[in-house]
Amino acid sequence: MEILAHIPLELNPTSVHSKLKSHDRGAVEGLITRALSLAQARAVFVPAYVEAREEDAVVIEGRRFKSRVLRKNLDDVGRVFPAVVTLGGRFDEAVEGTRDMLEKYYLDAIGNLALAEARAHLIAHLCQRFAIDKLSWMSPGSLADWPLEEQPPLFELLSGVEAAIDVRLTDSLLMLPRKSVSGILFPAESTFFSCRLCPRDRCDNRKARYDEAAAREYGILT
């Protein structure tokens, strides 16, 4: 397992302000500065290899992951990169310690943007390091087809993650610190978005429109 111990973060105030739909640009910029000073962005990853494919599952380094979508995405893929990215515990403590509900909401949203930036840094690092043109990402829990119950085998592939970057998996299969994300990175000709296969109407983090035809193609809609 390899560690990225110091991931640099930079957020565009104009983009954040637009995302939050805030009328107080100065306050938002102050919260961005605060959030970035609190975040300790780190990541771990490990190169791993697909060993077997089933109709609705894939075996990676002896761990079986049941997901039609993941199985299809790894159709022609040999090497993948299980990974965890986090902003660290200090950020969680700051959000939880804020009594102003609007400030808490803004900090939480800025944290999501910072976490996405940290993940993008990891992706860029892997592409350069392993000479890969494009990598896509899937996270357990992002789709009903690949639920949170798939977290334990993913963390088994990343043995030692808690000691490395202080991220642990709870009994309820959530990660602490909360501003952490786990998943499997895989080479892809075009960027894969789980959002295309998710019919949920209201989602602040949606990155692509729901595509019913794609859901049928992946075998999760009949």
Domains and CATH numbers, the chain: 2-193+209-217 (3.40.109.40)
Tell me if 55 sits within 8 A of 38, measured CB to CB.
no
Report d(CA 217, CA 138) in Å as an integer.
17
Query: Which of 145, 13, 142 lies closest to 68, judged by CA?
Result: 145
Tell me if 121 sits within 8 A of 135, measured CB to CB.
no
Type of residue numbered 31: L
Report d(CA 7, CA 87) in Å as an integer.
9
* Residue 131, both tokens: 């000479």
HSE toward the beta carbon, residue 196, CA cutoff 13 A: 13
Helix (H) or strand (E) holding 82, with range, is strand 79-86
Please count the residues of the chain.
222
Per-residue pLDDT of the chain (222 residues; tens, 9 = 90+): 899 999 999 999 888 888 887 777 788 899 999 999 999 999 999 999 999 999 999 999 999 999 999 999 999 999 999 999 999 999 999 999 989 998 999 999 999 999 999 999 999 999 999 999 999 999 999 889 999 999 999 999 999 999 999 999 999 999 999 999 999 999 988 777 777 777 777 766 667 777 778 778 787 775
Tell me if 137 sits within 8 A of 184, measured CB to CB.
yes
- What values do phi and psi take at 167, rounded to 5? -110, 130
The secondary structure of the chain in percent helix, strand, coil, rounded to multiples of 5, reads 40, 20, 40
Report d(CA 191, CA 133) in Å as an integer.
11
Query: Which of 128, 11, 3, 123 lies closest to 20, judged by CA?
Result: 11
Report d(CA 192, CA 75) in Å as an integer.
14
- What values do phi and psi take at 140, rounded to 5? -60, 135
pTM over 0.85: yes
